[in-house]
Amino acid sequence: MRYTENGDLLGYILKNGCVSENQSRVWFRQLALGIQYLHELEITHRDIKCENILLTANFNVKLSDFGFTRSCVDEDDQPILSDTYCGSMSYAAPEILRGKPYLPKPTDLWSLGVVLFVMLNKSMPYDDTRMRKLYEQQMGKKYRFRSRVASILTLECKTIVKHLLEPDPGLRHTATQVLGSEWIAMDSRLTSKFLMCLSI
């Protein structure tokens, strides 16, 4: 718990309001790097949400709560489908709500998209207590930024949200794709660090 000096991300947003696009980009990149690392190890988190993202003393983010974590491959390195409903409904990808076996990695990216939306908008992209209604909203891509937020966000930022809240898991961006996106590249400090990591 030494990584939670400044509480969790949800508490921060409730106290301080929407996170600026520039700060969201920094935290989003840190989270995407963590997810990329897990996925390269064939591990999926399966419970990514604002409450499980901790803020350190220096206001960096740390992913926590690995209670639902599982391997994505079997002993022969063959992909394993998940069939468990886990995590929080508002962060769950449509393939989870559908109730059929699913590839687990893309669901982490959907949840990351929800986290990004919440940071920028201080509200959930889809929020209904009825699972069927929530699923219909997700499949119809019926999310909206608040007007005052939509007017100041860059197109590149909105594009990342669009690619992560893609209901088709086969079209949803991977962690590597979002890390190489134009939105991340807009901050040269982040891309230079990313390139340094690749060269090591």
> Which residues are identified as catalytic?
47
Residue 40, amino acid:
E
Residues in the chain: 200
E strands, 16-158, in order: 43-44, 53-55, 61-63, 70-71
Q: At residue 47, what are phi and psi to the nearest 5 degrees?
A: -150, 45
* Greatest C-alpha distance within the chain: 51
Per the structure block, which two tokens stand in for 169?
A: 């898991």
Q: What is the rounded CA–CA span in Å between residue 67 and residue 63?
A: 12
Per the structure block, which two tokens stand in for 8?
A: 């969790």
Q: What is the CB-side half-sphere exposure of residue 81 using CA atoms within 13 A?
A: 8
Per the structure block, which two tokens stand in for 183?
A: 């939105």
